[in-house]
Structure 1
Amino acid sequence: MRVVRYHHHGPARDVLRLLDAPEPEPGPGEVRVAVRASGVNPHDVKKRSGWLGGELPPAGVTPHSDGAGVIDAVGPGVAEARIGQRVYVLRAPVHRGTAAEKVVIGADWALPLPEDFSFAEGASLGVPAFTAWLAALADGPVTGRTVLVQGGGGCVGRVCVELAAWSGARVIATAGSEAGRAAAAARGADLVLDRNRDDVAAAVLDATGGRGADRIIEVDFAANQATDVAALADHGVVASYSSTSDKRPVLDYYGFALKGASVRFIQGAKLTPAQRDAAALVVGALAARGRLRPDVPARFPLAEIAAAHEAVEAGASGNVVVLIGDDA
């Protein structure tokens, strides 16, 4: 099979290589997926570039945790009826990801793909949708609460907006571009702010009668920490899934502590089985109703995977996928 691997950290065009490799065989409790599309997320390019640090295994890394395709083999303990099922992949193995024609994963992490979703859309569901569920709903419904979504026009942020609005929250979103603000509004935000021009904290306090947001979903903890402290209600929650501007930010301990705040660090790759199952019910039900539909404006063939990584690094306005099958 064709597979992409890198053996060193560095720029995409310098380290990503398209190789031939033996097809993997599923073990007990596993399925093999013939991949039709492989999703590229910011954490994929951070890992490949070395931004996240860490040593690489001698055999190299096949990138990407998200993907979609068709189950073509099952291991012991898995019903053969699953062969032929269209699925999207959630949390592929760390070093053997979906940038390959075949991938083996635990059967419980291959989830049914909604009938009217393309494989490219399915490859864009995993990390964005499940990270968004963790950030918005992992602590329970947000009905009647005010939720501020920082970066509400991004791939994760717009799903956060949609999930919070679906749960009955009043949603305030920020975005830096006109397209991002339009995306947040389309997904259900009640108020959309320009993060570059508006005084976000003042706008949130004004909209809540001085109380502040009950929950803040954060795309860049380091960059927005001061705003979050000012905009957060007493006993509020900050759920942060990234801190791209500074991976080791200094924490304003008393800024949060004096509000009795909770700060949660969200990592979509660390879902527990219980969280996976709870999120899958919500994601699956909404997707079946035509909700949570990913925007996939950037699609690249497997041979151009470096360009796909560069598109993510350049701040692509929607999801980026690598197409592996003709029917993606």
Structure 2
Amino acid sequence: MKAARFSAFGDPDVLGIVDLPDPHPGPGEVRIAVRAAGVNASDWKKRRGLMDQELPQTLGYEAAGVVDEVGAGVTDVAVGDRVFGFCPDGAAQAERAVLAVYAPVPPSLGFAAAAALPSSVETAVRALDQLGVGRGDTVLVNGASGSVGSAAVQFAVARGARVIGTAGPANHAHLRSLGAEPVAYGDGLVERVRELAPDGVDLALDVAGSGVLPELIGLAGGAEHVLTVADVAGAREHGVRFSRGDDGRAIHALADLGPLIEAGRFAPPVVTTFPLAGIAEAHRAGESGRVRGKLVLLVG
């Protein structure tokens, strides 16, 4: 099969499409003929040598496609089903990939939209679960307009929470469409939030990692009411919980998503697509920071 891989660290030109053996699913896993695979910031961090140090490396942790082989014990899907989910081997940017966590692609979604969702949705739901967000809570989401922030806003609203979200003015209308009350980030953030919530908020989620944990702690009434998925150093300094995938993934998130999408209560992110062979261009676009929404590679 064709797969994206790099054998040296460096700029996007080190990326190539190579022939690799087809993978096969283990117990509880499925293999898909990949139709689309998500691209994340972790991909170019890996390519630069800022994460895993072994070489060569494949890429991609999220994909959508058609099941073409099932592992032992799999009874919830069958060959021919459309599914999306996580590839634990980090090899989803390929013609075939093994998924260990998966769910049916919602009927109204295409493969590109489905492949854009697993990482952001799981991160958002895990953070909300760990914060204990529920009906009647007032939640502040710092960095609410990005893929993770938008997912967090929508899931929190679906749980019955009131959501205040920080974003640049250009994204305020987008946040309102998702059910959040927008405020601008930057100097004066605390005062702007208190105009909407004079007594502060119940909980705060930091998705942006923009150095505002002290302000979030003050607004939420203590570090125990704040969680970040983006600021490791700040979490350590201020006693805030940092959520990472290895502290318990929200594996229910993908299955929970389908009914919300079909009910019109969750809007997937805008997707910008590239062919698998255009992976270097996708990395350049992502690193430029000028692309709104999610980057997805189309396969097959």
Could you tell me how far apart the structure 2 residues matched to 1:132 and 1:155 are? 9
Aligned partners of 2:31 and 2:69 also within 8 Å: yes
Whole-angstrom CA distance in 2 between matches of 1:81 and 1:150: 37
| Deviation, structure 1 residue 9 | 2.8
SS of aligned partner of 1:213? coil
For 1:78, the equivalent position in structure 2 comes to: 74
Deviations 1:277-325 (A, max 9, x none): 3x23432321232332322331101111112122222222111101113
1:238 aligns with 2:238: no
The answer (yes or no) to whether the contact 2:38–2:62 under 8 Å persists in 1 is yes
Q: Distance in 2 between matches of 1:128 and 1:134?
A: 10
Partner in structure 1 of residue 271 of structure 2: 297
- Give 2:84's aligned residue: 88
Matches within 5 A, 1:21-100: 21-51=20-50, 53-56=51-54, 58=55, 60-79=56-75, 82-90=78-86, 92-94=87-89, 96-100=90-94
Whether the 8 Å contact between 1:127 and 1:268 is mirrored in structure 2 is no
Q: Which residue is equivalent to 2:176?
A: 185
- Contact 2:36/2:115, CA 8 A, preserved across alignment: yes
Secondary structure of 1:276's partner? coil
Contact kept, 8 Å, 2:190 with 2:215, in 1: the verdict is yes
For the Cα contact (< 8 Å) 2:134–2:160, is it kept in 1? yes
| Partner in structure 1 of residue 111 of structure 2 | 119
Is the aligned partner of 1:104 residue 2:98?
yes
**Could you list the per-position Cα deviations for residues 202-237 of structure 1 after superposition, in whole angstroms to 9, with x for gaps in the alignment?**
12233222x322111112335222322332224752
- Match for residue 282 of structure 1 among 250, 256, 260: 256
Specify which of 202, 207, 223 is matched with residue 219 of structure 1.
Answer: 207
**Range moving further from structure 2, 72-81 or 223-232:** 72-81
Q: Where do 4+ consecutive residues of structure 1 move more than 6 Å?
A: none
Partner of 1:194: 184
* Cα RMSD, aligned residues only: 2.3
Distance 2:6 2:150 in 1: 31
Contact 1:137–1:164 (CA under 8 A) maintained in structure 2: no
Could you say if the C-alpha distance between residues 223 and 234 of structure 1 is closer, same or farther in structure 2, counting changes exceeding 3 Å? closer
Are 1:74 and 1:80, in contact at CA under 8 Å, matched by a contact in 2? no
1:297–1:93 distance in 2 versus 1, CA, 3 Å: closer
Q: From the superposition, tell whether residues 228 and 125 of structure 1 become closer, same or farther in structure 2 (CA, over 3 Å).
A: same
What is the Cα deviation at residue 152 of structure 1?
A: 0.7
Maintained 8 Å contact 1:3/1:100: yes
Q: How many residues align?
A: 299
Which whole-Å deviations, capped at 9, do the CAs of 1:134-164 have from their partners, x for residues lacking one? 1223444422111111111101111111111
Residue 259 (structure 1) aligns with: none
Q: Percent identity?
A: 36
In the alignment, what sits opposite 1:20?
19
Q: CA deviation at 1:177?
A: 5.1
**Separation in 2 of the partners of 1:27 and 1:268?**
21
Larger mean Cα displacement after TM superposition, 161-170 or 122-131: 161-170
The Cα offsets for residues 210-267 of structure 1, whole Å up to 9 and x where unpaired, read as x322111112335222322332224752121113xxx6448444xx6xxxxxx32222
Structure 1: which 5+ runs fail to align? 257-262
Task: Report the CA distance shift for 1:119/1:285 in structure 2 as closer, same or farther (over 3 A).
Answer: same
Q: Provide structure 2 residue ranges, at least 5 long, that are not aligned to the other structure.
A: none
- How far apart are the structure 2 equivalents of 1:239 and 1:80? 34
